[in-house]
Structure 1
Amino acid sequence: MSYNTNVRFVLKNINSKDVGCVNLEIVFIHKENKKKIRRYVNTGEYVNKNNFDSNGIKSHRHSLKSAKLLVEKRKLEIEELLRNLELNNGEITPDIYDVSQRINEDAKKNIFELFDKFIEYKTKKVESRTIQKYNTLKVVLEEFIPKKKHKNTYTTDITLDFLEELTTYLSDKKDLSINTIAKYQSVLNTFMDYLTDTLKVNKNLAYKEYQKISRKKESESKVVLLKEHVQKIIDWTTDDKTLETVKDLFLFQIMTGVRISDLLRISKYFVKNQMLSFQMFKTTTTVNIPLHPMAKEILTKYDYKIGAKCKEIGENQYNTFIKDVCKNAGLTEEVSSLRITLNKKIPVETPLYKLVSSHVGRTTFVTNCLISGISPFIVMGYTGHRKIETLHYYMKIAGDISQDAFIKYEDYFKFK
């Protein structure tokens, strides 16, 4: 089904003062049945109908010469576009033209407008959990890019330097783990692939050249605090109200294993039947976590407004203050002296407190649950982990620490 095309000037939407808008009418004429299909392009130029005929704007008036030149230039551009579309596609049809116009409109949009379009497109194709990941990345980009530049950030701005700075921001400012950063990078690549291959509005392929962070387990530095470390934090006191609050919030994470994204949301509505019961923000998994006596004390101390207290401090500041708390509490030993093995790339003289972030509260909860003898499968119910393999690292630490595990077995399996 192929068409011939003809482009001509028409005056549309003529008002009571006989002024109308100059449009380009594209007529697609079917080569066989001669059926005509029309499309219109608004030039944005307005003239009185007396100054317009089938050839366009009459130029007998000096004030109309520039308008005449503009609409004639636009007509040439449309004719050139139609020729190129026919050459590239082997034919020209109204549908081919319509697609080209959608691409042109999308090419004018900034990154955030395109991200909304991406999420709308993906909503019909992927699970809600995946859409949540897309929305999370959008929030991160909104935080990373200064607000004044939101409307002026386009696909051409996603350069190697941009990607490197984003990775540094996620690592240093957001204090995210290597695995989490790698997930963000994968989502960003999915978004850029959509712009490149589906919308066809992106020709900047820097994202394909960028070396992503490796997600190999040996590159990850999972830091956990053992019982003696937690005791130091509990024993430390301060007159600084902010640091006292940070200490309590961090201990709450250690006693419950909640992520920072859930800590920010906690209120009295999360507590049911002496348990912390809620749907996790990151995975939408519902968990029920028994409340340790210390966790109950902290909830009572802040009238259950844990989330509000965390928001007052701010996520980035919270991570900074955690390091201050741990340093003041005496978690200053070098990693070389720890009873757990960390990544070999971490300098042996690094003090422990420098490696502590909000996520360490979660890893500490998991590890100490396992050390105390709780089944990994029960721990998975507390943390929302879906695969036992995810706990292997913590299980190894627990095995290394619990040298007396068999003694527990002997005491239990003792017969008269």
Structure 2
Amino acid sequence: MTEPVARIAIAGVSHHTADVIALENFRFGDEPAFLEAAARRFSGVLLLQTCNRVEVIVEGDAGTLRDFLDGQGRSGFFLLEGRDALRHLLSLAAGIESMIVGEDQIIGQLKKALADAEEAGTASSFLELCINKAVHVGVGVRKRTQINRGAVSVGSAAVLLAESELGTLEGRHILVIGSGEMGLLVAQALAAKHLTAMYVANRTYGRAVKLAEKIGGKAVRLNELYHYITLSDVVISCTSAPHPVIHKIELKEAMRDRCWPIEGHPRPLILIDIAQPRDVEEGAGTIDGVRLFTMDNLREVNEQTMSTRRAEAERATAYVSEELELFIRQLHRRAADDCIAALHSWAEAVRVRERDKALARLGGADEKTAEVIDDLSRVLTKKILTDATASIRACAEEGDRSAAEALVQALTRGGMVITPPETRDVPE
């Protein structure tokens, strides 16, 4: 019987130890190609890429995952295996590991990672079970605690950051670039700030129109971007583009149009880039009047709002620990079921062999006699295995593999119990 929790390993980088540049360098631009390559090494693989983390989740062992990522040119990543990996996964879904503790978006991001892996054909039933359990725990934490109270998304934290820099957003002009999930979160957080104007720009104009209609803003075409940057007090950019959408030269020209008539210096522009990879070209923060903020600056916002959720995070951690133990018992039980199924198959083979021997010794037994002997052999086999099955399952649930294996060997007395293929040769 193989230890089931040894089948999972997770590696990656996150906001805990990596800045925006390190996160950007670790990302995998071609996700399908990465999944295809990883699938040749692992029974299952998922890739979770968000604005503040990149994590590879595999059904396999940590050593192989380390070697694989080294071969992909990645370094400086954390590496977890078994119970530690499962705890991390559940904590992740609970929002405990998020930069904005308690944020809700991670649940959808985990679901998307699983859906992408399923589409690519790299999701295994084991990883599907783990992700679904994590999602269940994430939902349960938010029902049982108030960990998602306050500013609990990167989008809302970006708005708080802008507000702290300007004192108030009332009467301001703000441009949001990007109309995906993050753009929607930013726009919703801004909607209650009594702005004079809110602009929404997106590569696909139709999507910008839809978001603008939802929040009472004005849709902007991307070729008008710098004109509206000139008009805005704050720009929050959160597209999913693989390259910068705000370029240094064009931004510098736009800032010239913001110059005060007498002083010759441009009106200050708060520029917040919460995209990954980054939307703002390197060096834009050196332009006169531009105050550039990135994901790294949002850590301070989290620290300010975390005090109101610290007790809730502790409650969430306790809940995760409880659910982790339940899940590990469930995994042990599944592993025991595989072993027990093999044991019962072995016992059935013995039963049929001995039944046929008995019928042969009777010679020409009628149908009724054959039926009675067959029923008798079935009942005896079932009764012999009932208590043993319960004991094997109980030992397995407690993680006592040696006792469970000893019970199996005591019953088979050297007879081979075939280990199911999906649990054979898995590293412990």
TM-score, reference length from structure 2: 0.28
Please give the TM-score of this superposition, normalised by the length of structure 1: 0.28
